Amino acid sequence: MSENTESQLSQRIDSYLEGLFVPEDTVLEQALKDMEQNGLPSINVSPNEGQLLYMLAKLSGARKVLEIGTLGAYSTIWLARALPPEGRVITLEYEPKHAAVARRNLERAGLSDRVEVRVGAGLDLLPEIARNGEGPFDLFFIDADKSNYPGYLEWAIKLSRPGSVILSDNLLRNGDVLKADIKNEHGSANDIIGRYNRQLATDPRLESLIIPLNRGHVDGLGVTVVRS
């Protein structure tokens, strides 16, 4: 089978799964439209990955979620919907414009009372969360600037408890991570993610797996359980 044929088959399978398991949702569709109309980059999770985030949050029994990288709150809506009525999400967004779009989308989804959007650099906001004693969190979703993924992971571990789940997006990068130079501490995003993946696999505090995902290209979601 040619590479082009494999890609077409993968996309057909992705569409098949979306048609089966991801029903039409006007709130989520409007969130995507608002993101596009406001010029936000089209880098949100796919509908199938959103459903996967929802299922993982449900299966973990999460009540407190910390998301690093809000964008327009598309993934945030998926996560918040999975929580019980008393559940809460704190989501961190660097760009004020993105945060404003996210807040409008969350209000339309009826989730403003369940989600707090905080604006600023993640590595500035995370120490504040720790100082305020707002942890531990049951589930984390890391989907922000790749250069700071290692720092985000360390803070997620600090703010976790045994059994907390850490989800990390964009870990396969259409296969480019296979060429990563994990010894280059000042390398490209692929090099950084390559080292990140190696830490997920070898850190004794963690148990992890990367799930390949198709979204027109191959990417991956890291699923990690904190041991201690």
Residue 135 has pLDDT above 70, yes or no: yes
Kindly report, residue by residue over 16-32, the tens digit of the pLDDT: 998 999 988 999 999 99
Question: 108, 19, 28: which is closest to 75 by C-alpha?
Answer: 28
Q: Give the pLDDT confidence score for residue 214 in this predicted structure.
A: 81
Residue 216 has pLDDT above 80, yes or no: no
What is the full DSSP assignment across 59-90?
HHT-SEEEEE--TTSHHHHHHHHTS-TT-EEE
Task: Report CA-CA distances (Å) from 11 to 33, 41, 160, 165.
Answer: 22, 22, 36, 28
> Does the pTM of the predicted model rise above 0.85?
yes
Token couple for 216: 């027109």
Question: 57, 48, 62: which is closest to 11 by C-alpha?
Answer: 48
C-alpha to C-alpha distance for 6 and 205, rounded to whole angstroms: 37
Q: Give the pLDDT confidence score for residue 4 in this predicted structure.
A: 67
Q: Give the pLDDT confidence score for residue 6 in this predicted structure.
A: 67
In the chain, alpha helices (H): 3-21, 26-37, 47-60, 74-81, 96-108, 122-131, 149-158, 189-202
C-alpha to C-alpha distance for 69 and 76, rounded to whole angstroms: 9
Residue 1 has pLDDT above 90, yes or no: no
Mean per-residue pLDDT, 40-47: 92
Q: Give the pLDDT confidence score for residue 80 in this predicted structure.
A: 98
The Cβ of residue 154 has, within 10 Å, a number of other Cβ atoms equal to 14
Which CATH entry fits the domain spanning 3-226: 3.40.50.150, 3.40.50.970, 3.30.360.10, 3.20.20.70?
3.40.50.150
Residue 3 has pLDDT above 70, yes or no: no
Residue 113 has pLDDT above 70, yes or no: yes
Kindly report, residue by residue over 149-200, the tens digit of the pLDDT: 999 999 999 999 999 999 999 999 888 888 887 777 777 988 999 999 999 9
Mean per-residue pLDDT, 28-45: 95
**3-state DSSP assignment of residue 55:** helix
Who's near 59: CB < 8 A, 6+ residues apart?
none
Mean per-residue pLDDT, 4-25: 84
Domain boundaries, the chain: 3-226
